[in-house]
Amino acid sequence: AFVIGEPCVDVKDMTCIEECPVDCIYEGERMLYIHPSECIDCAACEPVCPVEAIKPAQHVDDRWRPFQESAKSAFDVLGSPGGSTKVDPPIEDTEYVKNFEKN
Ligand code: SF4
């Protein structure tokens, strides 16, 4: 699956949402999130992101990893809410946003 990382925070360009053929990119309060098990690895979203916030899971580095893990745990709770659903607090409350604010 592809993963959205820190460059998306407070940007939320949303072009990726239009590109995704399976509607697996969800809008949160401050960033967008890719559903890790709905993503079909088509890579359509990666080149359209203006801030290069999207990476394939195999290229996730330490800065991206907390975003990957928090998206996974949030969607474990949420299941598959449907593409146009907003997925706010479960992910926003996770450690990565708090850590991001400090840096
Ligand atoms: Fe959607 Fe394809 Fe991007 Fe996965 S890789 S989030 S399926 S556009």
Instruction: Give residue ranges with CB within 6 A of ligand 1.
Output: 2, 19-20, 22, 24-25, 34, 39-45
Res 97: pLDDT: 61
CA of 9 relative to ligand 1 center, distance in Å: 18
Residue-level pLDDT, tens digit, the chain, 103 residues: 999 998 998 999 999 999 999 999 999 888 899 999 999 999 999 999 999 999 999 998 888 888 888 888 889 888 998 878 888 755 555 565 666 665 5
Index of the ligand 1 atom closest to the CA of residue 54: 3
Q: Are 40 and 21 in contact (CB under 8 A)?
A: yes
Q: Are 24 and 45 in contact (CB under 8 A)?
A: no
Q: 46 Cβ partners below 8 Å, 6+ apart?
A: 2, 54, 55, 56
The CATH number covering residue 94 comes to 3.30.70.20
Number of domains forming the structure of the chain: 1
Give ipTM to 2 decimals. 0.98
Backbone angles phi, psi at 33, to 5 degrees: -135, 135
Res 69: pLDDT: 87
What is the residue range of 71's domain?
2-102
In the structure encoding, which two tokens stand for residue 1, read together?
């699956």
The residue type found at 71 is A
In the structure encoding, which two tokens stand for residue 47, read together?
């080149």
Index of the ligand 1 atom closest to the CA of residue 42: 2
The span from the CA of 96 to the CA of 65, in Å, is 9
Res 48: pLDDT: 98
The span from the CA of 94 to the CA of 91, in Å, is 5
